A and B are shown apart, each in its own frame.
Chain A
Amino acid sequence: MDENAALFEFLLRMGDNTLILGHRVSEWCGHAPVLEEDIALANTALDLIGQTQMWLGLAGEIEGQGRSADDLAFLRDAWDFRNLLLVEQPNGDFGQTMMRQFLFDAWHLPMLTMLAVGGHERIAEIAAKAAKEAAYHLDRSADLVIGLGDGTEESHARMQAALDLLWPYMAEPFEADEVDAAMTEAGVAPDPGTMRGAFMEKVGAVMDAATLTVPERRFAQTGGKSGVRHSEHLGHILTQMQWLQRAYPGAAW
Protein backbone atom coordinates (compact mmCIF):
# COMPACT_ATOMS: atom_id res chain seq x y z
CA MET A 1 0.00 0.00 0.00
CA ASP A 2 1.24 3.47 -0.94
CA GLU A 3 2.44 5.18 2.25
CA ASN A 4 0.50 8.38 1.65
CA ALA A 5 -2.72 6.48 1.06
CA ALA A 6 -2.11 4.45 4.21
CA LEU A 7 -1.37 7.61 6.17
CA PHE A 8 -4.61 9.17 4.98
CA GLU A 9 -6.59 6.06 5.99
CA PHE A 10 -4.88 5.97 9.35
CA LEU A 11 -5.68 9.61 10.06
CA LEU A 12 -9.31 9.04 9.11
CA ARG A 13 -9.43 6.24 11.65
CA MET A 14 -8.10 8.48 14.41
CA GLY A 15 -10.34 11.40 13.44
CA ASP A 16 -13.48 9.40 12.79
CA ASN A 17 -13.20 7.72 16.18
CA THR A 18 -13.16 11.03 17.98
CA LEU A 19 -15.77 12.57 15.68
CA ILE A 20 -18.32 9.80 16.12
CA LEU A 21 -17.67 9.31 19.83
CA GLY A 22 -17.79 13.09 20.35
CA HIS A 23 -21.15 13.13 18.59
CA ARG A 24 -22.50 10.33 20.76
CA VAL A 25 -21.29 11.91 23.98
CA SER A 26 -22.75 15.27 22.98
CA GLU A 27 -26.18 13.65 22.73
CA TRP A 28 -26.19 13.69 26.54
CA CYS A 29 -26.13 17.46 26.75
CA GLY A 30 -28.74 18.55 29.30
CA HIS A 31 -29.87 15.01 30.11
CA ALA A 32 -27.20 13.68 32.48
CA PRO A 33 -27.93 12.16 35.91
CA VAL A 34 -26.25 15.02 37.79
CA LEU A 35 -25.16 18.51 36.84
CA GLU A 36 -21.48 17.69 37.29
CA GLU A 37 -21.89 14.95 34.67
CA ASP A 38 -23.57 17.33 32.24
CA ILE A 39 -20.49 19.49 32.52
CA ALA A 40 -18.03 16.61 32.33
CA LEU A 41 -19.73 14.96 29.34
CA ALA A 42 -19.84 18.25 27.44
CA ASN A 43 -16.19 18.69 28.25
CA THR A 44 -15.32 15.23 26.97
CA ALA A 45 -17.27 15.83 23.77
CA LEU A 46 -15.52 19.15 23.34
CA ASP A 47 -12.08 17.53 23.69
CA LEU A 48 -13.02 14.86 21.17
CA ILE A 49 -14.30 17.36 18.62
CA GLY A 50 -11.13 19.39 19.07
CA GLN A 51 -9.04 16.30 18.39
CA THR A 52 -11.17 15.58 15.34
CA GLN A 53 -10.35 18.98 13.91
CA MET A 54 -6.65 18.20 14.19
CA TRP A 55 -6.79 14.62 12.84
CA LEU A 56 -9.12 15.33 9.95
CA GLY A 57 -7.37 18.58 9.18
CA LEU A 58 -4.11 16.71 8.77
CA ALA A 59 -5.86 13.94 6.83
CA GLY A 60 -7.07 16.51 4.31
CA GLU A 61 -3.59 17.94 3.95
CA ILE A 62 -2.04 14.52 3.43
CA GLU A 63 -4.69 13.61 0.87
CA GLY A 64 -3.90 16.79 -1.04
CA GLN A 65 -7.29 17.09 -2.74
CA GLY A 66 -8.20 20.32 -0.99
CA ARG A 67 -10.65 18.70 1.40
CA SER A 68 -10.95 20.39 4.80
CA ALA A 69 -11.71 18.71 8.12
CA ASP A 70 -15.30 19.87 7.69
CA ASP A 71 -15.52 18.41 4.18
CA LEU A 72 -14.34 15.08 5.53
CA ALA A 73 -16.68 15.14 8.50
CA PHE A 74 -19.80 16.35 6.77
CA LEU A 75 -19.56 15.18 3.19
CA ARG A 76 -18.52 11.53 3.31
CA ASP A 77 -21.05 8.71 3.37
CA ALA A 78 -21.00 5.87 5.90
CA TRP A 79 -18.81 3.49 3.89
CA ASP A 80 -16.01 6.05 3.82
CA PHE A 81 -15.97 6.34 7.60
CA ARG A 82 -13.16 4.51 9.39
CA ASN A 83 -14.15 4.60 13.05
CA LEU A 84 -14.28 1.58 15.32
CA LEU A 85 -17.68 -0.06 15.65
CA LEU A 86 -17.49 0.57 19.39
CA VAL A 87 -17.87 4.34 19.13
CA GLU A 88 -20.96 4.31 16.95
CA GLN A 89 -22.88 2.15 19.43
CA PRO A 90 -25.85 3.95 21.00
CA ASN A 91 -25.51 5.67 24.36
CA GLY A 92 -27.94 3.37 26.14
CA ASP A 93 -28.15 4.28 29.80
CA PHE A 94 -25.48 6.31 31.55
CA GLY A 95 -23.68 3.12 32.54
CA GLN A 96 -23.45 1.93 28.96
CA THR A 97 -22.12 5.32 27.90
CA MET A 98 -19.45 5.27 30.59
CA MET A 99 -18.48 1.67 29.85
CA ARG A 100 -18.08 2.53 26.16
CA GLN A 101 -16.02 5.55 27.17
CA PHE A 102 -13.80 3.53 29.46
CA LEU A 103 -13.15 0.81 26.88
CA PHE A 104 -12.33 3.46 24.31
CA ASP A 105 -10.12 5.47 26.64
CA ALA A 106 -8.25 2.35 27.76
CA TRP A 107 -7.29 1.78 24.12
CA HIS A 108 -7.00 5.42 23.11
CA LEU A 109 -4.50 6.56 25.74
CA PRO A 110 -1.81 3.91 25.07
CA MET A 111 -2.33 4.43 21.35
CA LEU A 112 -1.80 8.18 21.62
CA THR A 113 1.14 7.67 23.93
CA MET A 114 2.84 5.51 21.30
CA LEU A 115 1.98 7.89 18.47
CA ALA A 116 3.45 10.76 20.47
CA VAL A 117 6.88 9.08 20.30
CA GLY A 118 6.37 7.79 16.76
CA GLY A 119 8.20 8.81 13.65
CA HIS A 120 5.73 11.27 12.14
CA GLU A 121 6.28 14.72 13.57
CA ARG A 122 2.83 16.17 12.93
CA ILE A 123 1.08 13.06 14.19
CA ALA A 124 3.30 12.99 17.27
CA GLU A 125 2.38 16.60 18.02
CA ILE A 126 -1.35 15.98 17.80
CA ALA A 127 -1.07 12.76 19.79
CA ALA A 128 0.89 14.42 22.58
CA LYS A 129 -1.78 17.06 22.94
CA ALA A 130 -4.63 14.56 22.75
CA ALA A 131 -2.95 12.17 25.19
CA LYS A 132 -3.24 14.71 28.00
CA GLU A 133 -6.97 14.88 27.46
CA ALA A 134 -7.32 11.14 27.03
CA ALA A 135 -5.50 10.51 30.33
CA TYR A 136 -8.04 12.70 32.07
CA HIS A 137 -10.92 10.95 30.29
CA LEU A 138 -9.56 7.56 31.32
CA ASP A 139 -9.24 8.55 34.98
CA ARG A 140 -12.81 9.72 35.00
CA SER A 141 -14.36 6.86 33.08
CA ALA A 142 -12.44 4.29 35.14
CA ASP A 143 -13.64 5.95 38.37
CA LEU A 144 -17.23 5.87 37.21
CA VAL A 145 -17.05 2.25 36.04
CA ILE A 146 -15.62 1.30 39.44
CA GLY A 147 -18.10 3.40 41.40
CA LEU A 148 -21.11 2.08 39.54
CA GLY A 149 -19.86 -1.51 39.26
CA ASP A 150 -19.20 -1.61 42.99
CA GLY A 151 -22.27 0.44 43.92
CA THR A 152 -25.74 -0.93 44.44
CA GLU A 153 -27.09 -4.22 43.16
CA GLU A 154 -28.87 -2.39 40.38
CA SER A 155 -25.89 -0.32 39.29
CA HIS A 156 -23.71 -3.43 39.36
CA ALA A 157 -26.15 -5.35 37.16
CA ARG A 158 -26.38 -2.49 34.68
CA MET A 159 -22.61 -2.16 34.43
CA GLN A 160 -22.15 -5.89 33.91
CA ALA A 161 -24.79 -5.80 31.17
CA ALA A 162 -22.98 -2.89 29.53
CA LEU A 163 -19.66 -4.74 29.61
CA ASP A 164 -21.25 -7.88 28.17
CA LEU A 165 -22.88 -5.85 25.42
CA LEU A 166 -19.76 -3.94 24.39
CA TRP A 167 -17.03 -6.52 24.86
CA PRO A 168 -17.41 -8.10 21.40
CA TYR A 169 -16.31 -4.77 19.91
CA MET A 170 -13.00 -4.80 21.74
CA ALA A 171 -11.15 -7.11 19.38
CA GLU A 172 -11.35 -4.69 16.47
CA PRO A 173 -8.92 -2.07 17.82
CA PHE A 174 -6.16 -4.67 18.10
CA GLU A 175 -6.52 -6.30 14.70
CA ALA A 176 -3.96 -5.26 12.13
CA ASP A 177 -4.56 -4.85 8.42
CA GLU A 178 -2.46 -3.47 5.58
CA VAL A 179 -2.95 0.13 6.73
CA ASP A 180 -1.59 -0.74 10.15
CA ALA A 181 1.22 -2.73 8.59
CA ALA A 182 2.23 0.26 6.49
CA MET A 183 2.14 2.55 9.53
CA THR A 184 4.18 0.16 11.63
CA GLU A 185 6.67 -0.27 8.82
CA ALA A 186 7.01 3.51 8.48
CA GLY A 187 7.59 3.80 12.24
CA VAL A 188 4.54 6.04 12.65
CA ALA A 189 2.28 3.82 14.73
CA PRO A 190 2.65 0.66 16.83
CA ASP A 191 1.42 -2.71 15.62
CA PRO A 192 -2.09 -2.67 17.12
CA GLY A 193 -1.73 -6.19 18.51
CA THR A 194 1.16 -5.16 20.72
CA MET A 195 -1.09 -2.81 22.67
CA ARG A 196 -3.46 -5.52 23.73
CA GLY A 197 -1.40 -6.42 26.81
CA ALA A 198 -1.49 -2.95 28.33
CA PHE A 199 -5.18 -2.67 27.52
CA MET A 200 -6.07 -5.99 29.14
CA GLU A 201 -4.05 -5.12 32.20
CA LYS A 202 -5.91 -1.86 32.69
CA VAL A 203 -9.28 -3.47 32.00
CA GLY A 204 -8.50 -6.29 34.41
CA ALA A 205 -7.54 -3.93 37.23
CA VAL A 206 -10.56 -1.67 36.75
CA MET A 207 -13.05 -4.52 36.41
CA ASP A 208 -11.63 -6.18 39.52
CA ALA A 209 -12.14 -3.00 41.49
CA ALA A 210 -15.58 -2.66 39.93
CA THR A 211 -16.42 -6.30 40.86
CA LEU A 212 -17.30 -6.91 37.19
CA THR A 213 -16.43 -9.96 35.13
CA VAL A 214 -14.81 -9.69 31.72
CA PRO A 215 -16.84 -12.01 29.49
CA GLU A 216 -15.39 -15.03 27.75
CA ARG A 217 -14.22 -14.02 24.35
CA ARG A 218 -17.15 -14.15 21.96
CA PHE A 219 -17.35 -13.66 18.23
CA ALA A 220 -15.55 -10.42 17.45
CA GLN A 221 -17.50 -7.68 15.72
CA THR A 222 -15.35 -5.95 13.14
CA GLY A 223 -15.74 -3.87 10.00
CA GLY A 224 -15.67 -0.31 11.32
CA LYS A 225 -12.07 0.72 10.88
CA SER A 226 -11.92 -0.91 7.46
CA GLY A 227 -15.28 0.61 6.56
CA VAL A 228 -16.40 -2.74 5.19
CA ARG A 229 -19.38 -3.20 7.48
CA HIS A 230 -20.49 -0.50 9.87
CA SER A 231 -23.50 -0.95 12.13
CA GLU A 232 -26.89 0.42 11.19
CA HIS A 233 -26.35 3.19 13.72
CA LEU A 234 -23.74 5.11 11.75
CA GLY A 235 -26.14 6.09 8.99
CA HIS A 236 -28.49 7.66 11.51
CA ILE A 237 -25.67 9.57 13.17
CA LEU A 238 -24.63 10.97 9.79
CA THR A 239 -28.21 11.79 8.88
CA GLN A 240 -28.27 14.15 11.81
CA MET A 241 -24.70 15.36 11.79
CA GLN A 242 -24.49 16.11 8.08
CA TRP A 243 -27.98 17.39 7.50
CA LEU A 244 -27.33 21.12 7.22
CA GLN A 245 -24.28 20.69 5.00
CA ARG A 246 -26.20 18.33 2.73
CA ALA A 247 -29.43 20.36 2.61
CA TYR A 248 -27.69 23.67 1.88
CA PRO A 249 -24.63 22.81 -0.20
CA GLY A 250 -21.99 25.47 -0.50
CA ALA A 251 -23.31 27.67 2.30
CA ALA A 252 -20.82 29.08 4.80
CA TRP A 253 -21.79 28.80 8.45
Chain B
Amino acid sequence: MYAQMVQSTGKGVKSRAEMTEDERRFQDRVDAGEKIEPKDWMPEGYRRTLIRQIGQHAHSEIVGQLPEGNWITRAPTLERKAILLAKVQDEAGHGLYLYCAAETLGVSRDELTEDLLSGRMKYSSIFNYPTLTWADMGAVGWLVDGAAIMNQVPLQRTSYGPYSRAMIRICKEESFHQRQGYDIMLKMARGTPAQKRMAQDALNRFWYPSLMMFGPSDADSVHSAQSMAWKIKINTNDELRQKFVDQTVPQAEFLGLTVPDPDLKWNEERGHYDFSEPDWSEFFAVIAGEGPCNAERMAARRKAWDDGAWVREGLMAHAEKKRAAKVAAE
Protein backbone atom coordinates (compact mmCIF):
# COMPACT_ATOMS: atom_id res chain seq x y z
CA MET B 1 0.00 0.00 0.00
CA TYR B 2 1.00 3.59 -0.43
CA ALA B 3 1.04 4.73 3.20
CA GLN B 4 3.49 2.81 5.33
CA MET B 5 4.22 3.16 9.04
CA VAL B 6 2.18 6.32 9.41
CA GLN B 7 2.83 7.81 12.82
CA SER B 8 -0.23 8.60 14.88
CA THR B 9 -0.22 10.31 18.28
CA GLY B 10 2.08 7.63 19.65
CA LYS B 11 0.20 7.70 22.94
CA GLY B 12 -2.11 4.75 22.52
CA VAL B 13 -5.87 4.79 22.39
CA LYS B 14 -7.55 6.78 25.14
CA SER B 15 -10.18 5.10 27.26
CA ARG B 16 -13.59 6.76 27.37
CA ALA B 17 -12.82 8.04 30.84
CA GLU B 18 -9.67 9.77 29.57
CA MET B 19 -11.49 11.44 26.69
CA THR B 20 -12.87 14.95 26.78
CA GLU B 21 -16.54 15.48 26.05
CA ASP B 22 -15.69 16.48 22.44
CA GLU B 23 -13.49 13.44 21.98
CA ARG B 24 -16.19 11.12 23.26
CA ARG B 25 -18.78 12.57 20.93
CA PHE B 26 -16.30 12.32 18.04
CA GLN B 27 -15.47 8.69 18.81
CA ASP B 28 -19.18 7.85 19.02
CA ARG B 29 -19.71 9.27 15.53
CA VAL B 30 -16.78 7.25 14.17
CA ASP B 31 -18.03 4.10 15.88
CA ALA B 32 -21.49 4.65 14.44
CA GLY B 33 -19.96 4.72 10.96
CA GLU B 34 -20.71 8.41 10.38
CA LYS B 35 -18.42 10.36 8.07
CA ILE B 36 -16.38 13.17 9.53
CA GLU B 37 -16.46 16.25 7.29
CA PRO B 38 -13.89 19.08 7.09
CA LYS B 39 -15.98 21.56 9.12
CA ASP B 40 -16.70 19.07 11.92
CA TRP B 41 -14.79 19.11 15.17
CA MET B 42 -11.96 16.55 15.21
CA PRO B 43 -9.09 15.77 17.57
CA GLU B 44 -5.85 17.45 16.52
CA GLY B 45 -4.14 14.03 16.48
CA TYR B 46 -6.73 12.73 14.03
CA ARG B 47 -6.16 15.69 11.73
CA ARG B 48 -2.38 15.37 11.83
CA THR B 49 -2.37 11.63 11.34
CA LEU B 50 -4.67 12.00 8.35
CA ILE B 51 -2.45 14.66 6.80
CA ARG B 52 0.55 12.36 7.13
CA GLN B 53 -1.31 9.39 5.72
CA ILE B 54 -3.09 11.12 2.84
CA GLY B 55 0.04 13.14 2.03
CA GLN B 56 2.19 10.03 1.90
CA HIS B 57 -0.39 8.35 -0.28
CA ALA B 58 -0.50 11.34 -2.65
CA HIS B 59 3.29 11.51 -2.89
CA SER B 60 3.35 7.81 -3.73
CA GLU B 61 1.02 8.37 -6.66
CA ILE B 62 3.25 11.17 -7.93
CA VAL B 63 6.60 9.43 -7.50
CA GLY B 64 4.88 6.28 -8.77
CA GLN B 65 4.65 7.88 -12.20
CA LEU B 66 8.41 7.55 -12.60
CA PRO B 67 9.07 3.79 -12.69
CA GLU B 68 6.27 3.29 -15.23
CA GLY B 69 7.03 6.50 -17.10
CA ASN B 70 10.43 4.92 -17.62
CA TRP B 71 8.88 2.57 -20.21
CA ILE B 72 6.35 4.76 -22.01
CA THR B 73 8.77 5.74 -24.76
CA ARG B 74 9.81 2.09 -25.17
CA ALA B 75 6.39 0.45 -25.07
CA PRO B 76 6.39 -2.33 -27.67
CA THR B 77 3.11 -1.57 -29.45
CA LEU B 78 0.92 1.47 -29.98
CA GLU B 79 -1.83 -0.11 -27.91
CA ARG B 80 0.48 -0.87 -25.00
CA LYS B 81 1.85 2.65 -25.19
CA ALA B 82 -1.68 4.09 -25.04
CA ILE B 83 -2.68 1.85 -22.12
CA LEU B 84 0.43 2.69 -20.15
CA LEU B 85 -0.03 6.42 -20.80
CA ALA B 86 -3.62 6.19 -19.62
CA LYS B 87 -2.54 4.34 -16.51
CA VAL B 88 0.20 6.76 -15.56
CA GLN B 89 -2.18 9.64 -16.24
CA ASP B 90 -4.64 8.04 -13.80
CA GLU B 91 -1.94 7.88 -11.13
CA ALA B 92 -1.27 11.60 -11.49
CA GLY B 93 -5.02 12.12 -11.18
CA HIS B 94 -5.04 10.05 -7.98
CA GLY B 95 -2.33 12.32 -6.63
CA LEU B 96 -4.53 15.30 -7.42
CA TYR B 97 -7.63 13.87 -5.66
CA LEU B 98 -5.55 13.05 -2.61
CA TYR B 99 -3.85 16.45 -2.39
CA CYS B 100 -7.33 17.97 -2.60
CA ALA B 101 -8.50 15.72 0.24
CA ALA B 102 -5.46 16.76 2.29
CA GLU B 103 -6.19 20.44 1.58
CA THR B 104 -9.53 20.08 3.38
CA LEU B 105 -7.46 19.45 6.53
CA GLY B 106 -5.71 22.80 6.23
CA VAL B 107 -2.47 21.97 4.44
CA SER B 108 -1.70 23.19 0.92
CA ARG B 109 -0.39 21.12 -1.95
CA ASP B 110 2.72 23.31 -2.14
CA GLU B 111 3.47 22.71 1.55
CA LEU B 112 3.11 18.98 1.10
CA THR B 113 5.33 19.09 -1.99
CA GLU B 114 8.02 20.97 -0.07
CA ASP B 115 7.82 18.32 2.64
CA LEU B 116 8.31 15.58 0.08
CA LEU B 117 11.24 17.30 -1.59
CA SER B 118 12.97 18.06 1.70
CA GLY B 119 12.59 14.44 2.77
CA ARG B 120 10.33 15.26 5.74
CA MET B 121 7.56 13.23 4.18
CA LYS B 122 7.89 9.78 2.64
CA TYR B 123 6.35 7.90 -0.24
CA SER B 124 5.90 4.15 -0.64
CA SER B 125 9.09 2.08 -0.56
CA ILE B 126 8.02 0.22 -3.70
CA PHE B 127 8.76 3.10 -6.05
CA ASN B 128 12.43 2.98 -5.15
CA TYR B 129 12.89 -0.20 -7.15
CA PRO B 130 13.97 -0.02 -10.80
CA THR B 131 11.88 -1.13 -13.78
CA LEU B 132 14.32 -3.05 -15.95
CA THR B 133 12.35 -4.88 -18.61
CA TRP B 134 8.95 -4.58 -20.24
CA ALA B 135 7.72 -7.39 -17.98
CA ASP B 136 8.17 -4.99 -15.08
CA MET B 137 5.24 -3.02 -16.47
CA GLY B 138 3.25 -6.20 -16.05
CA ALA B 139 4.61 -6.90 -12.58
CA VAL B 140 3.97 -3.36 -11.36
CA GLY B 141 0.34 -3.41 -12.48
CA TRP B 142 -0.29 -6.92 -11.26
CA LEU B 143 1.58 -6.83 -7.93
CA VAL B 144 2.02 -3.18 -6.98
CA ASP B 145 -1.42 -1.98 -7.99
CA GLY B 146 -2.75 -5.29 -6.68
CA ALA B 147 -1.24 -4.62 -3.26
CA ALA B 148 -2.49 -1.04 -3.34
CA ILE B 149 -6.04 -2.22 -4.03
CA MET B 150 -5.92 -4.53 -0.99
CA ASN B 151 -5.47 -1.46 1.17
CA GLN B 152 -7.59 0.99 -0.75
CA VAL B 153 -10.77 -1.05 -1.02
CA PRO B 154 -11.32 -1.11 2.77
CA LEU B 155 -10.28 2.56 2.97
CA GLN B 156 -13.36 3.45 0.96
CA ARG B 157 -15.11 3.03 4.33
CA THR B 158 -12.66 5.27 6.20
CA SER B 159 -14.14 7.77 8.66
CA TYR B 160 -12.94 10.94 6.94
CA GLY B 161 -15.44 11.90 4.23
CA PRO B 162 -13.14 13.53 1.64
CA TYR B 163 -10.60 10.69 1.97
CA SER B 164 -13.30 8.07 1.63
CA ARG B 165 -14.70 9.73 -1.49
CA ALA B 166 -11.21 10.03 -3.03
CA MET B 167 -10.71 6.31 -2.39
CA ILE B 168 -13.99 5.42 -4.07
CA ARG B 169 -12.94 7.29 -7.22
CA ILE B 170 -9.45 5.80 -7.11
CA CYS B 171 -10.62 2.22 -6.62
CA LYS B 172 -12.73 2.41 -9.76
CA GLU B 173 -9.56 2.99 -11.77
CA GLU B 174 -7.26 0.66 -9.89
CA SER B 175 -8.89 -2.53 -11.04
CA PHE B 176 -8.13 -1.54 -14.64
CA HIS B 177 -4.51 -0.97 -13.61
CA GLN B 178 -4.19 -4.40 -12.13
CA ARG B 179 -5.89 -6.05 -15.09
CA GLN B 180 -3.66 -4.40 -17.67
CA GLY B 181 -0.62 -5.49 -15.64
CA TYR B 182 -1.79 -9.06 -15.42
CA ASP B 183 -2.57 -9.01 -19.13
CA ILE B 184 1.02 -7.98 -19.90
CA MET B 185 2.29 -10.78 -17.65
CA LEU B 186 0.05 -13.28 -19.39
CA LYS B 187 1.34 -12.26 -22.82
CA MET B 188 4.92 -12.51 -21.61
CA ALA B 189 4.49 -15.78 -19.73
CA ARG B 190 2.88 -17.34 -22.82
CA GLY B 191 5.38 -15.74 -25.18
CA THR B 192 8.86 -16.57 -26.45
CA PRO B 193 11.48 -18.05 -24.09
CA ALA B 194 13.03 -14.60 -23.75
CA GLN B 195 9.70 -13.08 -22.77
CA LYS B 196 9.07 -15.86 -20.29
CA ARG B 197 12.43 -15.20 -18.76
CA MET B 198 11.59 -11.51 -18.42
CA ALA B 199 8.30 -12.38 -16.73
CA GLN B 200 9.93 -14.70 -14.19
CA ASP B 201 12.70 -12.20 -13.54
CA ALA B 202 10.15 -9.45 -12.91
CA LEU B 203 8.29 -11.62 -10.40
CA ASN B 204 11.58 -12.51 -8.71
CA ARG B 205 12.48 -8.88 -8.25
CA PHE B 206 9.05 -7.52 -7.33
CA TRP B 207 7.71 -10.25 -5.04
CA TYR B 208 9.35 -9.26 -1.76
CA PRO B 209 9.22 -5.50 -2.34
CA SER B 210 5.47 -5.98 -2.94
CA LEU B 211 5.10 -7.81 0.38
CA MET B 212 6.97 -4.91 2.01
CA MET B 213 4.37 -2.49 0.72
CA PHE B 214 2.09 -3.46 3.60
CA GLY B 215 4.73 -2.44 6.12
CA PRO B 216 6.15 -4.50 8.98
CA SER B 217 3.82 -6.31 11.36
CA ASP B 218 1.89 -3.72 13.32
CA ALA B 219 -0.04 -6.02 15.65
CA ASP B 220 1.61 -4.29 18.63
CA SER B 221 1.87 -0.78 17.20
CA VAL B 222 0.28 2.01 19.25
CA HIS B 223 0.13 4.12 16.09
CA SER B 224 -1.91 1.52 14.25
CA ALA B 225 -4.18 0.91 17.23
CA GLN B 226 -5.08 4.60 17.33
CA SER B 227 -5.55 4.78 13.56
CA MET B 228 -7.82 1.75 13.67
CA ALA B 229 -9.89 3.24 16.49
CA TRP B 230 -10.33 6.32 14.30
CA LYS B 231 -11.09 4.18 11.24
CA ILE B 232 -8.37 5.67 9.13
CA LYS B 233 -6.81 2.24 9.06
CA ILE B 234 -9.13 -0.70 8.66
CA ASN B 235 -6.95 -3.84 8.71
CA THR B 236 -3.61 -4.75 10.20
CA ASN B 237 -0.62 -4.98 7.90
CA ASP B 238 -0.39 -8.75 8.42
CA GLU B 239 -4.04 -9.26 7.51
CA LEU B 240 -3.63 -7.40 4.26
CA ARG B 241 -0.34 -9.10 3.41
CA GLN B 242 -1.90 -12.52 3.94
CA LYS B 243 -4.85 -11.59 1.80
CA PHE B 244 -2.50 -10.41 -0.93
CA VAL B 245 -0.45 -13.61 -0.87
CA ASP B 246 -3.59 -15.77 -0.89
CA GLN B 247 -4.90 -13.91 -3.91
CA THR B 248 -1.64 -13.68 -5.83
CA VAL B 249 -0.20 -17.19 -5.56
CA PRO B 250 -2.93 -18.85 -7.68
CA GLN B 251 -2.52 -16.07 -10.25
CA ALA B 252 1.21 -16.79 -10.45
CA GLU B 253 0.42 -20.48 -10.88
CA PHE B 254 -1.98 -19.68 -13.70
CA LEU B 255 0.83 -17.74 -15.37
CA GLY B 256 3.14 -20.72 -14.96
CA LEU B 257 5.57 -18.60 -12.95
CA THR B 258 7.31 -19.52 -9.71
CA VAL B 259 6.97 -17.33 -6.62
CA PRO B 260 10.54 -16.89 -5.35
CA ASP B 261 9.84 -18.37 -1.93
CA PRO B 262 10.87 -22.01 -1.34
CA ASP B 263 8.84 -22.05 1.90
CA LEU B 264 5.62 -20.97 0.30
CA LYS B 265 2.94 -23.60 0.86
CA TRP B 266 -0.77 -23.93 1.44
CA ASN B 267 -1.65 -24.43 5.10
CA GLU B 268 -4.81 -26.52 5.20
CA GLU B 269 -5.41 -25.84 8.87
CA ARG B 270 -5.20 -22.06 8.63
CA GLY B 271 -6.82 -21.95 5.21
CA HIS B 272 -4.04 -19.61 4.09
CA TYR B 273 -0.63 -19.78 2.46
CA ASP B 274 2.42 -19.86 4.70
CA PHE B 275 5.12 -17.65 3.26
CA SER B 276 8.50 -16.12 4.09
CA GLU B 277 8.76 -12.63 5.45
CA PRO B 278 10.64 -10.13 3.31
CA ASP B 279 14.02 -8.86 4.48
CA TRP B 280 12.90 -6.07 6.80
CA SER B 281 16.40 -4.62 7.08
CA GLU B 282 16.18 -3.90 3.36
CA PHE B 283 12.79 -2.26 3.90
CA PHE B 284 14.14 0.04 6.61
CA ALA B 285 17.10 0.95 4.43
CA VAL B 286 14.78 1.85 1.55
CA ILE B 287 12.57 3.92 3.85
CA ALA B 288 15.67 5.68 5.12
CA GLY B 289 16.57 6.68 1.56
CA GLU B 290 19.02 3.95 0.69
CA GLY B 291 16.99 1.93 -1.80
CA PRO B 292 18.21 1.27 -5.33
CA CYS B 293 16.40 4.29 -6.81
CA ASN B 294 15.73 6.69 -3.94
CA ALA B 295 18.32 9.19 -5.10
CA GLU B 296 17.11 9.16 -8.70
CA ARG B 297 13.44 9.40 -7.81
CA MET B 298 13.96 12.37 -5.52
CA ALA B 299 16.34 14.03 -7.97
CA ALA B 300 13.73 13.66 -10.73
CA ARG B 301 10.98 15.18 -8.59
CA ARG B 302 13.22 18.01 -7.42
CA LYS B 303 14.33 18.76 -10.96
CA ALA B 304 10.71 18.82 -12.18
CA TRP B 305 9.80 21.21 -9.38
CA ASP B 306 12.84 23.49 -9.78
CA ASP B 307 12.74 23.55 -13.58
CA GLY B 308 9.04 24.31 -13.39
CA ALA B 309 9.43 27.33 -11.12
CA TRP B 310 9.57 29.84 -13.97
CA VAL B 311 6.45 28.28 -15.51
CA ARG B 312 4.45 28.52 -12.29
CA GLU B 313 5.68 32.07 -11.70
CA GLY B 314 4.99 33.10 -15.28
CA LEU B 315 1.44 31.78 -15.24
CA MET B 316 0.76 33.41 -11.88
CA ALA B 317 2.10 36.74 -13.09
CA HIS B 318 -0.12 36.51 -16.17
CA ALA B 319 -3.19 35.66 -14.10
CA GLU B 320 -2.42 38.65 -11.87
CA LYS B 321 -2.11 40.97 -14.89
CA LYS B 322 -5.43 39.75 -16.22
CA ARG B 323 -7.09 40.25 -12.88
CA ALA B 324 -5.68 43.77 -12.55
CA ALA B 325 -6.81 44.64 -16.08
CA LYS B 326 -10.30 43.42 -15.30
CA VAL B 327 -10.47 45.47 -12.12
CA ALA B 328 -9.23 48.55 -14.00
CA ALA B 329 -11.89 48.07 -16.66
CA GLU B 330 -14.70 47.93 -14.09
Contact = CB atoms under 8 A, between A and B. Distances in A.
> Is this pair of chains taken from one and the same complex?
yes
A43 B89 contact: yes
B195 interface: yes
A50 to B, nearest CB: 6
A165 interface: no
Contacts of B72: 26-27, 29, 45
B73 A23 contact: yes
Instruction: Kindly name the residue among B66, B69, B318 whose own CB sees the greatest number of chain A CB atoms within 10 A.
Output: B318
A151 B89 contact: no
Interface residues of A, number: 52
Interface in B105-151: 109, 134
A93 B191 CA distance: 40
A53 B92 contact: no
Nearest to A73: B78
A248 interface: yes
Nearest to B62: A35
Interface stretch (B36-44, B208-216, B307-315): B307-315
A32 B62 CA distance: 11
A52 interface: yes
Nearest to A52: B78
B77 A148 contact: no
B158 to A, nearest CB: 23
Interface in B262-282: none
B65 A244 contact: no
B19 interface: no
A248 B192 contact: yes
A30 interface: yes
Interface string A216-253: 00000000000000000000000011011100101111
Contacts of B249: none
Interface stretch (A104-112, A152-160, A176-184, A196-204): A152-160
B295 to A, nearest CB: 16
B319 interface: yes
Instruction: Kindly name the residue among A30, A95, A150 whose own CB sees the greatest number of chain B CB atoms within 10 A.
Output: A30
Contact of A241 (B66, B74, B79, B89): B74
Contacts of A151: 313-318
A93 B303 CA distance: 12
Interface in B165-197: 184, 187-188, 191-192, 194-195
25 contacts: A30-B92, A30-B300, A33-B308, A34-B308, A34-B311, A35-B96, A36-B96, A39-B92, A43-B89, A45-B72, A45-B85, A49-B81, A70-B78, A74-B77, A147-B318, A150-B318, A151-B317, A152-B313, A155-B311, A155-B317, A241-B73, A248-B195, A251-B192, A253-B184, A253-B187
Given A46-B85, A251-B194, A253-B76, 7 more contacts: A19-B78, A38-B65, A46-B82, A94-B308, A154-B314, A155-B315, A253-B80
Interface of A: 19, 23, 26-27, 29-39, 42-43, 45-46, 49-50, 52-53, 56, 69-70, 73-74, 93-95, 144, 146-148, 150-152, 154-156, 158, 240-241, 243-245, 248, 250-253
Interface of B: 62, 65-66, 69, 72-82, 85-86, 88-89, 92-93, 95-96, 99, 109, 134, 184, 187-188, 191-192, 194-195, 300, 303-305, 307-319, 321
